[in-house]
Structure 1
């Protein structure tokens, strides 16, 4: 079928040029050579026997464990209602299926709208789905978590972490320093926060140094 179509097309083009273009013989020979060259290329690379259908969707690529997945047990705890939802979402994210992680946690927040940890997880899933960018939806999810647990460290800590992933270093440092200022002196998570703030300060200094005129 492919050859029939291309031969019919070539004949129609040649007839139209001969009838209406009024080319001289040399020009018609040049056009004929171009059509033959196109047909030769089709014969070399064309595969008319293949059925016409779109290519299969690209398989999702596996990802390394996210920073949220690595640290959430230390900050949020475990073995509670949110932990089971977040564990399943982490599994989706590791397989590269961030869309399913977002859908899962969006459904979880609809079922348990007053659980701040689920809103944190949704914000993180949206950031992963956007390849690290802080989308308006992700920001809204973190802000919702903060409003539900204004004195808890989890929402602000992971909000700052997501901001770092999106390259919003100044805002991330402000969020973390405000959290550190309000943290109890003996809080178990305080050293982790102090370490992250120090690393972020070093990163910002390195970036500023690389941009300085020489």
Structure 2
């Protein structure tokens, strides 16, 4: 399975909260329209996505574009609400579950809260080879000072990622950060200092 290069931005979000657009795979089935009427009045891309959803509520790519625009505008609560509507219509799409997890992480200022963890777990069950759930699972372990588990999760992702995968540089830097934290004794009776888990991604 080949993911779009913008997946790297999803990984960067966990550290820098700089925004994320998980461009989905084409050819997805449409779904009947529930209640949500998106009108974010943001970027031209978001407006176009909003109009696309009025014509086809099952347009996954439009949902991802819209929710990304809301996250970038720091309207994370609206992004979560929009994705809840999307998942009511299309509950079996892994990219939407990843995006829901990302929106929840953004809403929690970078913390992988239990609701986000559940969203990533659901995405991983739907698409086991999807890289984003493994990345965020590793981040959750790191935030809990479970450095060895974070490294185990990230090294497994690293091993199954192509050398030129767009998320590899970011993943590799986070592994270095985790290794440094381990050397400092984190996970052995020492809790991580605020921002330590993210400092490897602060410069983008």
Could you tell me the TM-score, scaled by structure 2's length? 0.54
Q: Say if 2:31 is the partner of 1:85.
A: no
- The answer to whether the 8 Å contact 1:169/1:204 transfers is no
Cα RMSD after superposing both structures:
3.4
Structure 1 counterpart of 2:122:
144
Structure 1 counterpart of 2:199:
none
Distance 1:114 1:97, change over 3 A: same
- Choose from 158, 167, 180 the match for 2:158: 180
- Choose from 178, 196, 204 the match for 1:200: 178
- The answer to whether the 8 Å contact 1:123/1:141 transfers is yes
Summarize deviations over 1:28-66 as a string: whole Å, max 9, x none: xxxxxxxxxxxxxxxxxxxxxxxxxxxxxxxxxxxxxx7
Higher relative contact order (CA closer than 8 Å, sequence separation 6+): 2
May I ask how many residue pairs the two structures share in their alignment? Answer: 143
TM-superposed CA distance for 1:78, in Å, is: 6.0
Structure 1 counterpart of 2:72:
94
Q: Distance in 1 between matches of 2:69 and 2:23?
A: 18
Q: Say if 2:71 is the partner of 1:125.
A: no
TM-superposed CA distance for 1:149, in Å, is: 0.7
Q: Distance in 2 between matches of 1:182 and 1:195?
A: 16
Structure (1 or 2) with the greater helix fraction? 1
Distance 1:152 1:78, change over 3 A: closer
Structure 1 counterpart of 2:92:
114
> Rg bigger for which structure?
1
Distance 1:200 1:87, change over 3 A: farther
- The answer to whether the 8 Å contact 1:183/1:190 transfers is yes
TM-superposed CA distance for 1:101, in Å, is: 1.1
Structure 1 counterpart of 2:131:
153
- The unaligned stretches of length 5 or more in structure 1 are 1-65
